[in-house]
Every structure is written in C-alpha cells, then in structure tokens.
Structure 1
Amino acid sequence: MTPPRLALITGGAQGIGRGIVEDLLARGWRVAALDRDAEALAELDGAHPETALLALRADVARETEVDAALAGLRDWQAAAGEPPGLDLLVNNAGIADPVSGPVESLSLADWRRWQDSHLTGAFLCTRAAVADLRARHGSIVNIASTRALQSEPDCEAYAAAKGGLLAMTHALAVSLGPEVRVNAICPGWIETGPWQKAARRETPEHRAIDRDQHPAGRVGEPADIAATVAFLASEEAGFITGQQLPVDGGMTRRMIYAE
C-alpha cells in the first residue's frame, strides 16, 4: 500500500505557510508544520486535531533545532508505521518585513538576521531533508519573492536573501536531479490578514487602485500560492525543475508610471 504523501512546510503556522499547510491537508497529505512561534503553532494544531498534522517548534536559522525537528518528523513517521521519506519540502520561513532601512545605517547583525532567516534556514532545512526527499523522489519549493526581481527603497537585506534563494534553487535542481526537483515561487502582494476568508473582490481593506493595478484584478491570497505549490509537487509538473515562477497577478509584467 502506498503511504500518504508527506510534506514539511517551514514557517507553517501563519500567513502563506499556513495557507499551504491547510491546502495540503485538504488534499489528503500528511503535513509537518515547522515554525518558531510556539503560540501560532499551538493555535494551528488546535484547529487541526487530526493525526495528519505534526507541529514542530524550531528556528530554521539554528542548525541544532532544524536537525532535532527532522528527527522528530522521522519519529512521527515511524510511530505511524510509515516508511521513511519525504515528498515535499517548502522553504517558506523568513522575516516577513521587507524593509531593513537605509543601507548606510543597516547593521551587520540585522543584515545577517535577514540572510539567516531566509537563505541559511532554507539551506539547513534542505541539507537535513535531502536523504528523505531522495527516498521518495520528492521535490523542494522555495518561497522567494517578486522583490528578488524588482524593488522598493530600503529593502536590500530582504531582496538579497530572496535573490539568493532563486540562485540556490537552480543550483540545487542541477545538484539533486533527477531524484529531487527544485523550483521557486515568487509571490507578489499576498494578503494574509483576516479578510482572506472573505470574498476576494469585495475587500474593504483594499482600495480600487490596489486591485486595479493588478492585471488579474485583485490582490493575491495564500490560496494562490498554495495551489501553485501543489502543482509543482504533482506528477504533472515532473518536467519542471530549476525554475522561478512569479505568482503576482501579473504585476511584474505591468509598466506603471506615477501620474
């Protein structure tokens, strides 16, 4: 009997990460959600009491915590009588705020915080999970950002970290293929506030200009990213690796001049 598919989502307790977790659970996956926010993890776990979800507390920038989390995941599998292996790793964790301030006043410690949370964390989680992914010919999806492709002022640390994720994506795809496919998603404006469960186009928090500047006619939501993750992890995407896919309602293709 084929075991259920298993995914590990970092930064899985909130925002885009939680959207991915809930989408995969709804699709019948077993999911491990890793996050450093214990309170958010407890809330997620309470909302999904089924045994298909494992909540893992860890900071992805800390090597020992990542290794301990992967050991916990393997113990969870073994307790359920499942064979070892991982079908999907989503490297989503990282500091959400893109604004690091003027570069001339950006401290080295803060610069490193952004790099460690996004890029070093993705490296540590990937390294820890490679053997498990190879065992099932799984895939990796790195959550980058359209800010790796275009910028607003004072976002150097975030942009560099997300740009590094894109470079690491194609490097890993070459190194780990053909056993493991590796792709990146570049989300644009993805609203993770309370409104996300409401009707998409009737959101009072978003002005008409917010919606209209998107060729798709609306701001994004976590479900848009989750659906893309599910596709990239599917057999239908079996010939796609080393790629970066903007999911931004068309914004990176639209030229806008201030009036």
Structure 2
Amino acid sequence: MQSYYSSKVVLITGGAQGIGLGMAQAFAQAGAQVVITDLDQEAGQEALERLKGQNLTLTFIACDVSQEQQVQQLMAQVQEKFGRLDVLVNNAGIASPPRTPLAELPISEFDQVLGVNLRGPLLCSKYALPLLKKAAHPAILNITSTRAFMSEPNTFAYSASKGGLEALTHSLAISLGPKIRVNAISPGWIETGPWEKESKRYEPHHRPQDKAQHPVGRVGTPEDIARAALFLCSDQAGFITGQRLTIDGGMTVKMIYHDE
C-alpha cells in the first residue's frame, strides 16, 4: 500500500478520535497526505501531536459536517492546499442518548443524529465531487455500522441513520460510477479507548463473555477497520463498488440464546 498511497490526498471526517484516527494514522503511514476534520478542536490538535510524534504529517480542519456552508468551506480549503482529493472517508458520526424510549425521544435529537450521520456524508460527497474528479482513481468510503441491520432497544436515530447510509452507499456507487467507486465498512464492537483524546482515554477491559460473543475470540480495534479501508480505497479493490464489508469478528452471524 505504501507505493499506491504515496502523495495521495485522503480526507477523513470525524478523524480526530476512535476509528477515524486509526484510519488517519494508517493512511499517513502508507504515505498519504491526510486531512482530518472534526467538530472537536481539542481532539483535532491532540491528533496532530500524536501523529507528529510518529513523524507523520496531518492537516486538521474544524468542521460540522451537518452544516452545508461549513462543508463547502472545508472542500475549498482542501482545494487550495492540495488541488484534488483521491479518497473521501465519511466517518463522522454521533449517537443519540442511549436507550431513550420512543415516547421520550426528543425529535430534535433524532434530527441532529441524522444530520451528522446521513446528511453529512451526502454533503461531503456532493461538495467533494469536483476534487475527486481530478484524481486518477477516486474512492469514497462510508463507515456505517452493524446497527444498520440489528439493534438494541431504543436506538432509533443511530440505527436509522446507519441504515440510511448503507442505502446511500449503493445509490452513490451507481450514480458516480464508473469514475468514482463507493463502498462501506460496517464495524461491529470496536474498542476505541486508547484512541480517544486524553481527557476521555481509558484502558480497555473486556470480560470473558464479551470476547466469547465473537467467533474470533476478541473485540475489534481501529486497526482492524483501517486495514480494510486501505484495501477498499486502493486499486487492488478496483472491481469492488456499491458493497458493504462487515467487520465484527463474526458477532452478527453467531446465534446467542443466553448470556455467555
């Protein structure tokens, strides 16, 4: 991947922490010029320092991807600095307050989650188009979730937004091909503790039963997602578009009848 991504320009939304930061590090290690955008400016600055400590370069631009004008400004800055975009990773996402019963769910919170998780990828894809068309083999990667096709109780907004993003993925693939390939990764349980900003960072602890829910015997890491992202956005995946790759250690195909 080192030779393929050398000098490629990669934009990752929600790239300051968690899975996004894991992907940013992987693309940078592969030689790409990586731009991350995030609403959390503190996390963005920490991400810059973290990768700088590994002799990796990173550009941070603050942006709320649910706001059209901010997305337009983001792409204008990418245009000014790099002149093109090879890979757009729509990773930014928020979750509604966990397990809020439907009768108590504030519709404003539902709208906010869909604004970031679904409207955001559409806006970013729309305004990145002129930049992507300048690249030789451009790609868009959407980070969805296994919550798109399975749920815990009372997770309406997050599940609906990720399900919508799954559908948006194949719609974009059909609409933007053959020039631009569009795929998705659906992560399962990914442990992001070591990849959070310092004030939120924690040491992971997983019970035996947590690991046992996964046929591979462990919980996932951002590195697991990053390796797949490098593949799907490269020329090695040139015949793959409109697809979703589930990365969950086999959790969604295991039948569980009781708490193991």
Scaled by the length of structure 2, the TM-score of the pair is 0.90
2:241 maps to: 241
2:192 maps to: 192
1:199 maps to: none
The equivalent position to 1:65 in structure 2, one of 46, 70, 77, is: 70
CA distance in 2, matches of 1:52, 1:30: 7
Query: Following TM superposition, by how much is the alpha carbon of 1:258 offset from its aligned partner in structure 2, in angstroms?
Result: 1.4
Q: CA 1:179–1:129 in 2, change beyond 3 Å: closer, same or farther?
A: same
Give the counterpart letter for 1:67 in structure 2: Q
Query: Aligned with 2:133: secondary structure?
Result: helix
1:38 maps to: 41
Matched, 1:168 2:179: no
CA distance in 1, matches of 2:16, 2:74: 15
1:125 maps to: 124
CA distance in 2, matches of 1:157, 1:55: 28
CA distance in 1, matches of 2:103, 2:47: 40
1:106 maps to: 105
Residue pairs, 1:181-220, within 5 angstroms: 181-194=181-194, 205-220=205-220
Alpha-carbon contact 2:99-2:153 (below 8 Å) kept:
no
Matched, 1:26 2:29: yes
Query: Following TM superposition, by how much is the alpha carbon of 1:189 offset from its aligned partner in structure 2, in angstroms?
Result: 0.2
Q: CA 1:229–1:216 in 2, change beyond 3 Å: closer, same or farther?
A: same
CA distance in 1, matches of 2:46, 2:194: 15
Q: Which runs of 4+ in 1 moved over 6 A?
A: none
Query: Following TM superposition, by how much is the alpha carbon of 1:213 offset from its aligned partner in structure 2, in angstroms?
Result: 1.2
Query: Following TM superposition, by how much is the alpha carbon of 1:97 offset from its aligned partner in structure 2, in angstroms?
Result: 5.4
Greater shift in the superposed pair: 103-112 or 177-186: 103-112
Percentage of identical aligned residues: 48
CA distance in 2, matches of 1:91, 1:155: 21
Alpha-carbon contact 1:148-1:163 (below 8 Å) kept:
yes
CA distance in 2, matches of 1:161, 1:29: 29
Q: CA 1:258–1:250 in 2, change beyond 3 Å: closer, same or farther?
A: same
CA distance in 2, matches of 1:51, 1:248: 29
Give the counterpart letter for 1:29 in structure 2: A
2:58 maps to: 53
Alpha-carbon contact 1:98-1:158 (below 8 Å) kept:
no
Q: CA 1:117–1:241 in 2, change beyond 3 Å: closer, same or farther?
A: same
Scaled by the length of structure 1, the TM-score of the pair is 0.90
Alignment RMSD: 1.9
Query: Aligned with 1:55: secondary structure?
Result: strand
Query: Aligned with 2:118: secondary structure?
Result: helix
CA distance in 1, matches of 2:8, 2:29: 12
**Cα deviation code 1:143-177 (max 9, x no counterpart):** 00000011110101100000000000000000000
**Cα deviation code 1:47-86 (max 9, x no counterpart):** 2346841101010011111111111112212xxxxxx321
Alpha-carbon contact 1:100-1:106 (below 8 Å) kept:
no
Query: Following TM superposition, by how much is the alpha carbon of 1:245 offset from its aligned partner in structure 2, in angstroms?
Result: 1.1
Alpha-carbon contact 1:5-1:30 (below 8 Å) kept:
yes
CA distance in 2, matches of 1:195, 1:72: 26
Runs (5+) with no aligned partner, structure 1: 78-83, 197-202
Query: Following TM superposition, by how much is the alpha carbon of 1:40 offset from its aligned partner in structure 2, in angstroms?
Result: 0.5
Query: Following TM superposition, by how much is the alpha carbon of 1:241 offset from its aligned partner in structure 2, in angstroms?
Result: 0.3
Greater shift in the superposed pair: 36-45 or 129-138: 129-138
CA distance in 2, matches of 1:33, 1:204: 25
